[in-house]
Amino acid sequence: MEVNFTLIGIRIAKIRKERNLSQMELAELSNLSPSYISHIETAKKKPSLESLVKIVNALNITVDELLCGNQIYDPNAYQTDIDILLEDCTLVERFFLFRILEETKKIFRESDLISHILSDQNTY
């Protein structure tokens, strides 16, 4: 499985924006150039491990959070995204979202849709 640098770039941009940081500010915090940050976010350049560590430290996240979705087996995939999505929800909203997710999972498994998606996972 190849590393999905597009997904990494999208995640960096999303988290940067959630932190109300410009590319210039992230560049300063990570000691990288603003153009390099832009190229990473748009997957025009593949960042080095050193650069990724600088970026995660500047964003105050873990490497796991950044690489979410790039591992073949990742039991915590999207957990941080789910936590962020739910953090401002009321208990009632969380309950309804949980029920929707629970029923959606049931439908996926009953229709064998997940097997079909996994067989085409390179397109997702």
Condensed to tens digits (0 to 9), the pLDDT of residues 20-34 reads 999 999 999 999 999
pLDDT more than 90, % of the chain = 57
Whether 124 is covered by a domain: the verdict is: no
CB 53 within 8 A of CB 63: yes
Assign residue 14 the CATH number of its domain: 1.10.260.40
Residue 18 domain boundaries:
1-72
From residue 121, how far is each of 19, 51, 112, 124 by CA, in Å? Answer: 31, 28, 14, 5
What is the tally of structural domains in the chain?
A: 1
**Would you say residue 84 has pLDDT above 60?**
yes
Reference 61, options 69, 72, 70, 52; nearest CA is 52
Torsion angle, CA of 51/54/56/60, rounded to 10 degrees?
A: -170
Q: Which residues contact 46 (CB under 8 A, 6 or more apart)?
A: 3, 5
Q: Which residue has the higher pLDDT, 78 or 4?
A: 4
Q: Which residue has the higher pLDDT, 2 or 35?
A: 35
Whether 77 is covered by a domain: the verdict is: no
Cα separation, 33 vs 9, in Å, equals 15
**Would you say residue 11 has pLDDT above 70?**
yes
Task: Report the pLDDT value the prediction gives residue 9, as an integer from 0 to 100.
Answer: 94
Whether 103 is covered by a domain: the verdict is: no
Whether 10 is covered by a domain: the verdict is: yes
**Would you say residue 124 has pLDDT above 60?**
no
